[in-house]
Structure 1
Amino acid sequence: MALKIFITGATGYIGGDTLHNLYAKHPDHQYTALVRTKDKAAIVEKAYPNVQIVIGDLDNSELLEEQASKADIVLHTADASDHAGAAKAIAAGLVKGHSGNSSKPRYWLHTGGTGILTYEDSEAGRLGEHSDKEYNDWTAVNELTHLPASAFHRNVDEIVLETGEKHGDVVKTAIVCPPTIYGKGRGPVATRSRQAYELTKLVLTGKYIPVVGSGKARWNNVHVSDLASLFTLLVEEAGNPTADKQSELWGSKGYYLAENGEHVWTDLAVRIGQECTKQGYISNLEKKSLTKEAALDQAGFEAVSWGWNSRGKAERAKHLLGWKPSGPSIEAEVPNMVQEEHDLLSKKA
């Protein structure tokens, strides 16, 4: 069955890779993409001739509501976890546009982020400390859907969850919550992630191994193609619902951590440094401690995140959707990260 899919972030890293995967597997779906500029729209149209483009941004609530009201599925990836106005507009559109037939609900696939799991460290002022705390989206999904209001991204999570609970008969919601994402994106515009790549950039330009706080913080990771495959599985489920799984897939239980591994930030920085030396770009690297303020000054929020713990187990998608991550590990991707960041820096020089 051909579905009407409205996607935000088609020119971004997550949305670009997901659209690539979806379009390749399901070219018969009717895709509409929100794009901010005509120049970027032309790039998307060239890559995907059958995708309809609407020009606008997340501050255009009327446009978002209108497009959401026409869609069977809204795939929201553009600054999704931090733009409350866009979330409210999408919610209103999905509810407004529903025909009233609960046998044919609309679907909202929303992109969160596991920065939400760092609140304990950030609020306690801990930096780089070891933590055994690990969330689980299968055995303890209720904990993830009831995090404190002060947690990063939580205000937008609440809008999505409330929509799925209050209007669950006509709007099915799922929050996909990725951690550190890596790998070269296959989208037509943005192909680079930030966290691990900013770390690589800092090692190359600063010529040292950054150690934030105590240097023991851990974070999950996922290859961008595996994240795209999870979104694709959710789209496929929406198009062909599994009757006995609906209550587990959407709404109050529709919260999906999207990890396939874990790294210690300092260990990853050391590995990146070793690869920089191996490729002949730097030698004699030493570790350098960074306070929160120094980390912010060096590389912004990404650098501070290298000192916070964000840990969880992604079991829900595996149990319910048969998700099988198969991308290379973040450690295996380090040589490509170093080469790509070096090439980018050389172009800017």
Structure 2
Amino acid sequence: MSKIFITGATGYIGGDSLATLVPKYPDFSYSALVRSPQKGEQVKAQYPSIRIVIGDLDDSKLLEKESAAADIVLRESTSPPRVYPLLNDANLIRTDTADASDHVGAAKAIISGLVSGHSKEKPGYLLHTGGTGILTWRDSDSNEYGNKSEHVYNDWEGVDELLNLPDHAFHRNVDQLVLEAGAKYADVLKTALVCPPTIYGQGRGPVSQRGRQVYELANVTLRLKKGPIIGAGKSIWNNVHVQDLSDVYLLLVEAAISRRNDQGLWGADAYYLTENGEHYWGELAVATAEAAAKLGYIPEAKAEPIDLESAKKYAGFESLSWGMNSRGQARRARNILGWKPSRPSIEDELPAILQGEWQRLQKSS
């Protein structure tokens, strides 16, 4: 029986990953890091057999202990990876999903635990979740928003570029820790760095079932009664349905329990972009307004430019991503894992996203 430790069971990504893993592998031993007993009860209500570990990412000793005991650590965020481009601060499978993308202390503790608790004969596996906010560094450096970039990253033939992004790129400090550990402890620790873009679709987890970027776009559209466009609206971002993303974690878990060791599956270059298409933020704003008008939520299908400061007042730093470029090709998961994303497109999901945001606004009014 495999032991899986997950730190983001209450989050959008982690919760949906559990909804994929548990039905297929109900006999696995699952442990979940949860910040409060109340949240723990919500997780237990959906997954009665799961073991709740009360704590947070600052508790290094607890993380190290749980990681050492797990076969797999799934390390994800309680929500989709955040995008703060203006800040530039610069197992089998262990699941750590609670704000994991940027928590250096937690990454070090998890890696330490996995290394100390495993051996060449029985390696530990770490599935770490980053985010494609890391690819926005050029826009952030130039302080330009809303313009199109022709630069497209590639996690297969072009993986060296991803492995050598600037140190000040968002998420880069923790990504480096994971990649370096995968190289340094290759016999004992098998790592995979999963890098999702804009995530959408109904989550199936016990607590958070909502994404961020496109959900905030829908929310602001309803509040302003028009779609918000940053700059020229020409910036481009990849996207993926949350359930297609969960399939990547499932496939990595299955590769781990099968003890697969294909070249490029784990380790220093195991960088997994997870896209299934891309969108222009300006076009998505227009499509969101059209869908909102068709549903009767706003009087007309209108989308107009909004300045950055006003956008931030409505949606915080998430709104900055609407003016930035994050483009890549997810070839590694397709080539090595046979990943075949198949869920509805982001445009097809807009009515459901808007309905959910409309209900949220009604409850808060």
Q: What's the TM-score, normalizing by structure 2?
A: 0.92
Partner of 2:14: 15
**Structure 2 vs 1, CA of residues 315 and 189 (structure 1 numbering), >3 Å: closer, same or farther?**
same
Secondary structure of the structure 1 residue equivalent to 2:53: strand
Aligned pairs for 1:79-98 within 5 A: 79-98=99-118
Please say if 1:307 is aligned against 2:323.
yes
Instruction: Tell me, in whole angstroms, the C-alpha distance in 2 between the residues paired with 1:334 and 1:104.
Output: 45
Partner of 2:74: 75
- Tell me which protein shows more helix as a share of its residues: 1
Partner of 1:127: 145
Letter in 2 for 1:87: A
Partner of 1:199: 217
Please say if 1:104 is aligned against 2:103.
no
Partner of 1:158: 176
Partner of 1:320: 336
Shift of 1:310: 0.2
- Are the counterparts in 1 of residues 232 and 282 from structure 2 also a CA contact under 8 Å? no
Question: In angstroms, what is the RMSD of aligned CA positions?
Answer: 1.0
Partner of 1:233: 251
Instruction: Tell me, in whole angstroms, the C-alpha distance in 1 between the residues paired with 2:247 and 2:346.
Output: 17
Shift of 1:285: 4.7
Instruction: Tell me, in whole angstroms, the C-alpha distance in 1 between the residues paired with 2:115 and 2:259.
Output: 19
Secondary structure of the structure 2 residue equivalent to 1:263: strand
Please say if 1:344 is aligned against 2:343.
no
Instruction: Tell me, in whole angstroms, the C-alpha distance in 2 between the residues paired with 1:232 and 1:7.
Output: 13
Please say if 1:27 is aligned against 2:43.
no
Instruction: Tell me, in whole angstroms, the C-alpha distance in 2 between the residues paired with 1:151 and 1:242.
Output: 32
Instruction: Tell me, in whole angstroms, the C-alpha distance in 2 between the residues paired with 1:59 and 1:213.
Output: 39
Instruction: Tell me, in whole angstroms, the C-alpha distance in 2 between the residues paired with 1:183 and 1:286.
Output: 24
Instruction: Tell me, in whole angstroms, the C-alpha distance in 1 between the residues paired with 2:259 and 2:159.
Output: 21
Please say if 1:36 is aligned against 2:35.
yes
Number of aligned pairs? 344
Instruction: Tell me, in whole angstroms, the C-alpha distance in 1 between the residues paired with 2:364 and 2:250.
Output: 35
Letter in 2 for 1:300: G
Tell me the alpha carbon deviations over residues 7-62 of structure 1, each in whole angstroms, 9 at most, x when there is no partner. 01001000000011000111111111001110111111121111111100111111
Instruction: Tell me, in whole angstroms, the C-alpha distance in 2 between the residues paired with 1:204 and 1:345.
Output: 9
Tell me the alpha carbon deviations over residues 236-293 of structure 1, each in whole angstroms, 9 at most, x when there is no partner. 00000234x1x31011121100000100011111111011111111113543323333
Secondary structure of the structure 2 residue equivalent to 1:251: coil
Instruction: Tell me, in whole angstroms, the C-alpha distance in 1 between the residues paired with 2:173 and 2:74.
Output: 19
Instruction: Tell me, in whole angstroms, the C-alpha distance in 2 between the residues paired with 1:103 and 1:146.
Output: 31
Q: 1:290 aligns with which of 306, 310, 313?
A: 306
Please say if 1:170 is aligned against 2:188.
yes
Secondary structure of the structure 1 residue equivalent to 2:323: coil
Tell me the alpha carbon deviations over residues 140-173 of structure 1, each in whole angstroms, 9 at most, x when there is no partner. 1111111110100001101111111111110011
Partner of 1:213: 231
Tell me the alpha carbon deviations over residues 38-91 of structure 1, each in whole angstroms, 9 at most, x when there is no partner. 011111112111111110011111111110011111001121111111111101
Partner of 1:62: 61
Instruction: Tell me, in whole angstroms, the C-alpha distance in 2 between the residues paired with 1:111 and 1:20.
Output: 17
Secondary structure of the structure 2 residue equivalent to 1:156: helix
Partner of 1:329: 345
Instruction: Tell me, in whole angstroms, the C-alpha distance in 2 between the residues paired with 1:119 and 1:109.
Output: 24
Instruction: Tell me, in whole angstroms, the C-alpha distance in 1 between the residues paired with 2:362 and 2:269.
Output: 46
Letter in 1 for 2:13: I
Ranges in structure 1 where 5+ consecutive residues have no aligned partner: none
Please say if 1:261 is aligned against 2:281.
no
Partner of 1:252: 268
Q: 1:272 aligns with which of 288, 294, 298?
A: 288
Instruction: Tell me, in whole angstroms, the C-alpha distance in 2 between the residues paired with 1:335 and 1:295.
Output: 22
Letter in 2 for 1:166: K
Please say if 1:149 is aligned against 2:202.
no
- Are the counterparts in 1 of residues 101 and 174 from structure 2 also a CA contact under 8 Å? yes
Letter in 1 for 2:105: G
Letter in 2 for 1:41: G
- Are the counterparts in 1 of residues 127 and 193 from structure 2 also a CA contact under 8 Å? yes
Letter in 1 for 2:75: H
Letter in 1 for 2:43: V
